[in-house]
Amino acid sequence: MAIHDIWESKSTVITQYSGRVNGQELIEASLKKSGDDRFDDVRIIIGDWSRISHVDITPEDVKALVACLRSISKINPYAINASVINQDETGNALAAWYKFLADDLSWKIGIFHTMDEARAWCEAILIKKAANH
């Protein structure tokens, strides 16, 4: 699997996944990203899964990922997390499971089928938060 973090700005990081994706690499990539000094300032985290060819992630892997994200979300409690997934049954089922398990995180989590949808959702949340402060 190829995982590439694009630090688009001080407040936005996009992680692109391609090829075969497995659970252990997914968890390691999340831990690596959260350990980066820039992570503290990130408000938008987008996972772009549109370039994957095969998913080797089990429901147990998703549980383990969310367990890690519980700690990571305490480092940066105000982040917004969007995932862009392909429109297939496996991706949709794993994304729904992830969203269900991560419901108690401080992060807002959204699942989308296009990058434009994900970006628009993130921007709308930031605008709403700014208007409320």
- Domains of the chain, by residue range, sit at 2-110
Beta carbons within 8 Å of 114's beta carbon, 6+ residues apart: 84
Measured at the alpha carbon of residue 42, what is the angle toward residues 88 and 91, in degrees to the nearest 5? 10
pLDDT at 59 over 70: yes
pLDDT at 16 over 70: yes
pLDDT at 89 over 80: no
Q: Which fold has domain 2-110?
A: Transcription Regulator spoIIAA (3.30.750)
Residue type at 67?
Answer: A
Structure tokens at 88: 């297939």
Instruction: Give the helix/strand (H/E) hosting 91.
Output: helix 89-101
| Percent of the chain whose pLDDT exceeds 70 | 97
pLDDT at 65 over 90: yes
pLDDT at 1: 61
Edge-to-edge strand list for the sheet holding 12-22: 2-9, 12-22, 44-56, 80-84, 108-112
